[in-house]
Amino acid sequence: MQEFDLAIIGAGPAGMAAAHEAAGLGLRVVLLDEQPRPGGQIHRDVDRVAGARADRLGLDYRHGLRLTAALRQADIHHLAGAVVWAIEDGFCLSYTRNGQAGQVTAARVVLATGALERPMPLPGWTLPGVMMAGAGQILLKQSGVAARRAVLVGAGPLLYLVAAQMVRAGTPPLALVETPTGADRWRALRHLAGALRGWRDLVKGAAMLAVIARARVPRFPAATDIVIEGKTGPDALRFTSRGRAQRIPCDIVFLHHGVVPDTQAARSLGVRHLWHPQQACFVPQLDDWGGTDVPGVYIAGDGGGIGGAGAAEIAGRLAALRLAEDAGRITQAQRDHRAKPLRAALSRALALRPFLDAAFPPYAAALAPADDTVVCRCEEVTAGTIRDHARLGCLGPNQAKAYGRAGMGPCQGRYCGLTVTAILAKANGRSFDDTGYFRIRPPLKPVTLGALAAMEHTEPGTPDQETKT
Amino acid sequence: MKPVLPFLELEVGPRVPVTCDGVALDLPLGANLAAALLAAGIDVFRHTPVSGAPRGPFCMMGACFDCLVEIAGTTRQACMVEVTAGLDIRRPNMGRDAGI
């Protein structure tokens, strides 16, 4: 089994930056990533995207090219297409790659697992043709596949970005149905002074809105009572905006109301998480370097709290500096000297965040779905069933698993965990922290018995191996 | 199937033959399988084992497991597979309306 100084999980901005920095400081680094090529979700498949498509997607995407180029130059053992399904003490990481299981060991771990889109349970959200807006964006940027008659629903900068990219692709959305209210905008204005330090992002946002306006995409503010109609796919989106009932026939619905940290790997290691009221999600508790309460386990990027791609990259470098010091490759003084400009840049990168959190809160009705709305997509458990569990004395998500299987399907609670916690917390009148979250155990992703059985006989993965499916 | 497909392919490139439930399809080589199937007009990827409800790709990033298909007998997330020539794709629990 190959041994490394550092294992990094995830090749998005945080993971790529951490790997590059750590390898440059002399650490032996293994980088494991689920995708066949580096980039993460924000720079997905950036190395293969044609020039024309890169133009359509905008400058930020091309910044990813610089990150992947740096990754190639450095001496990094990059296991692409490796799905990590267990991280055990010591640390031993088990993964599946090309249908075969393998293991590597490393003295330290950086989790750069990024974010998931916040689940948005509303009537009809399980229909084929209803997707997260990030999925719509992945279709566009990775595959050049555009939805012809789509409605965008929810809140957040990503919704505008996807809308603008759809306009540039020649397939503008039929409508932008937005859930934030005028009151949200007022609350956000209190953070405007701080936000001005992140003026570059504000300018980008204004440019996206201009593209949407020029394409005359209808926008419906303060939407409530949102329902997706249809039996085998969306027929129409129904909602109320400014007191008027609306119905927009469509083929595709893209949902989005923010992103939340993907905490599965961190939770499986027992990292302490606390509820973050402004971001409305659980966030791992980290020190200034991304260090957790579990020795040797660090978290960088959106997996440690939502900060965006720019902040993620910096957090990755900071974690690498701390770990290089830990491994004796640099002194504490060298570490702090190198970290100083990074900390200033991190503060700038996060300046807009409080404004964004206030301006684009989650859609309230999706945090407390109606009784007949499916919450757990895998096991098809409704919000009403979870409330029934609470009436029978169920206090937390782990008990809810035993009562009715919520969170026990293949996605392992990724798209119901926060909703189940919210419903139980409200029903029982307890805090989110007291209610808690699903206990996450390996395997973090399904692994076949065949892959496990063959594990003894397989050599650890080699870099640059062609990923074939 | 709707007369106009819900998804549009913006670019053309080399295509390779695959089969989906025994029906021949030509999909873009190296494309994300879930995206390629959507662009080919396949919207329902499977039916759920619990209620038999239809499902299709939802997250496109390997997290939700709604785009599960069978490839050469192994259940895979279509959004984590790249198109290669000769893929033998089957949709689980398609039941009565298995036609494309």
pTM of the model: 0.94
Say yes or no: A377 contacts chain B, CB-CB below 8 A: yes
Q: What pLDDT score does A452 carry?
A: 86
Residue B3 has pLDDT above 70, yes or no: no
Residue A464 has pLDDT above 50, yes or no: no
Phi and psi dihedrals of A418, rounded to 5? Answer: -65, -35
ipTM exceeds 0.95, yes or no: no
- The pair of structure tokens assigned to A334 is 């060298």
The answer to whether the CB atoms of B32 and A117 lie below 8 A apart is no
The answer to whether the CB atoms of A469 and B5 lie below 8 A apart is no
- The arithmetic mean of pLDDT across residues B2-24, rounded, is 90
**pLDDT-derived band at A463, boundaries 50, 70, 90:** very low
Q: Of A12-16, A23-27, A41-45, A251-255, which gets the smallest average pLDDT?
A: A41-45
Residue partners of A459: CB distance under 8 A and separation at least 6: A102
Q: Which B residues, 61 through 90, put their C-beta within 8 Å of a C-beta on chain A? A: 61-66, 68, 71, 74, 76, 80-82, 84
Q: Which is more confident, A466 or B73?
A: B73
Identify whether the C-beta of residue A69 lies closer than 8 Å to the C-beta of residue A76. Answer: no
Residue partners of B12: CB distance under 8 A and separation at least 6: none
Nearest to B10 among A36, A146, A410 (CB): A146
**pLDDT-derived band at A460, boundaries 50, 70, 90:** low
Q: What pLDDT score does A49 carry?
A: 76
Please tell me whether residue A428 adopts helix, strand or coil conformation: helix
Phi and psi dihedrals of A338, rounded to 5? Answer: -70, -30
Q: What pLDDT score does B100 carry?
A: 42
The answer to whether the CB atoms of B82 and A36 lie below 8 A apart is yes
* Nearest Cα residue in chain B from A147: B7
- The arithmetic mean of pLDDT across residues A35-58, rounded, is 80
Say yes or no: A236 contacts chain B, CB-CB below 8 A: no
The per-residue DSSP string of A2-71 comes to EEEEEEEE--SHHHHHHHHHHHHTT--EEEEESSSSSSTTTTTTGGG--HHHHHHH-HHHHHHHHHHHHH
The percentage of residues in chain A with a pLDDT greater than 70, rounded to a whole number, is 95
Give the CA angle between residues A136, A138, A139 to the nearest 5°: 65
